[in-house]
Amino acid sequence: MNSIANKVLNSFKEKFSNTPNVYFSPGRINLIGEHIDYNDGYVMPAAINKGIYYAVAANGTDTINILALDFNETLNIKITDIKKMDSWKNYVLSVVNEFVLLGKITQGFDCVFSGDIPQGSGMSSSAAVEGGLAFALNEIFNFGYSRVQLALLCQRAEHNYPNVQCGIMDMYASLNGKKDHVILLDCTSVTHEYFPFVLKEYTIVMVNSKVHHSLASGEYNVRRQRCEEGLGILKTKLGVQSFRDISSTDDIVPFKETMTPEVYDCCKYVVEEIARTRKAGALLRQHDLKAFGQLMYATHEGLSKLYQVSCVELDFLVEQAKTNTAVIGARLMGGGFGGCTINMVRNESVELFIAAISAAYKQKFSIEPEAYIMSISDGTARIID
Ligand code: GLA
């Protein structure tokens, strides 16, 4: 058994008297399609082998008891007292609150959790926390919700207590991942198809900048508002329903003066990124990874210059990747303002790449970055019962 699963199970046994189920809820990477899940785009995430492990059991009382091992903190709260709190508590309680709003939670539960997704890395530890608990409660109490319904519930939960107006990608990918497959998620219909992710001569390497700018969640909501504002204008001017109805940025140029520069740049980025993801799917199927890698660089450029969610550290990591002939594509991944870059690197050069980029980054910012070699896993599942 995985060592974290073991630790969670043993801690549960020490602290509580009942027998839990143990679950794994993965983080996610996203190959392409950034900041377009809430803009009716297509995204290409996959669940990863890093995630959150939960031990959970119903307790037949009116109280919820949670031990967050990584924070060494305990929360004991009556179901009727659930409210917005701080840090990790917001994520778990907001999920419980969504079930309460649906009239579902009638008794308490005991729970221990821990994980190995570096916080603030952009690999979505929050969605893994939310999805894992939602999945566990759904199973333990026989609520009968589908994985898609649970993903939508977790999205509402993230909007509510943590107040991050996120899209559906993270929780959807975590709950619906498939080993060695990428998910092509249509964020309008909230449906997906899988296709095999065969990299052959390449490896996905994440490089963690270890910076996490505190503006991240506020600025995220600002980007979402800019897009809504821009789309509102484009709907009336162009008669479109969504960004995906706009086939070229040429169509939006005439309306540049009707928007603030920030709103216009966000709209331009979204139209371009939707076009890139459409191309990317075809390229992956043809195994044209070099062309796919060029799209990754173009996405980074757009995220940095137009969408303005990068930072000097991430720009530096992507520039470094570009100078390395073993890398065919790199970009910041996730919400931005810190976290990881995702890099596609030739298999035989992975170690050299990690050593070179780590040394350059350390010299420039006096921060030791971390690098992770990714493997793609199944979505949230019970692993012990
Ligand atoms: C965060 C959000 C997602 C998505 C990404 C950017 O991870 O939770 O919904 O918008 O940022 O692509």
Report CA(210)–ligand 1 centroid distance (Å): 18
Residues 12 and 143 sit within 8 Å (Cβ to Cβ): no
pLDDT at 214: 63
Which of 154, 169, 213, 215 to mutate to test ligand 1, by most ligand atoms within 8 A of the CB atom? 169
pLDDT at 384: 80
Per-residue pLDDT of the chain (385 residues; tens, 9 = 90+): 689 999 999 999 999 999 999 999 999 999 999 999 999 999 999 999 999 999 999 999 999 999 999 999 999 999 999 999 999 999 999 999 999 999 999 899 999 999 999 888 899 999 999 999 999 999 999 999 999 999 999 999 999 999 999 999 999 999 999 999 999 999 999 999 998 888 889 999 999 999 987 656 789 999 999 999 999 999 999 999 999 999 999 999 999 999 999 999 999 999 999 999 999 999 988 989 999 999 999 999 999 999 999 999 999 999 999 999 999 999 999 999 999 999 999 999 999 999 999 999 999 999 999 999 999 999 999 998 7
The structure tokens 């897009």 sit at 227
What is the set of active-site residues?
A: 170
Q: Whose CA is nearest to atom 11 of ligand 1?
A: 335
pLDDT at 66: 98
Residues 170 and 126 sit within 8 Å (Cβ to Cβ): yes
Q: Whose CA is nearest to atom 9 of ligand 1?
A: 167
DSSP secondary structure string, 352-373? Answer: HHHHHHHHHHHHHHS---EEEE
**Strands 109-115 and 63-68: what pairing?**
parallel
Helices 147-160 and 169-176, axial angle in degrees (round to 10): 150
pLDDT at 215: 56
Instruction: Outline where the chain has alpha helix (H).
Output: 3-15, 87-101, 125-140, 147-160, 169-176, 216-238, 261-285, 289-301, 312-322, 350-365
Residues 26 and 49 sit within 8 Å (Cβ to Cβ): yes
Report CA(333)–ligand 1 centroid distance (Å): 9
Report CA(166)–ligand 1 centroid distance (Å): 6
Pocket of ligand 1, beta carbon within 6 A? 34-35, 37-38, 124, 166-167, 169-170, 334-335
Which atom of ligand 1 is the closest one to the Cα of 166? 9
Residue 117 corresponds to which amino acid? Answer: I
pLDDT at 258: 97
Q: Long-range CB contacts (< 8 A, 24+ apart) of 278-285?
A: 278/42, 280/31, 280/32, 280/33, 280/44, 281/42, 281/44, 281/184, 281/195, 284/31, 284/44, 284/182, 284/195, 284/197, 285/195
Which atom of ligand 1 is the closest one to the Cα of 158? 8
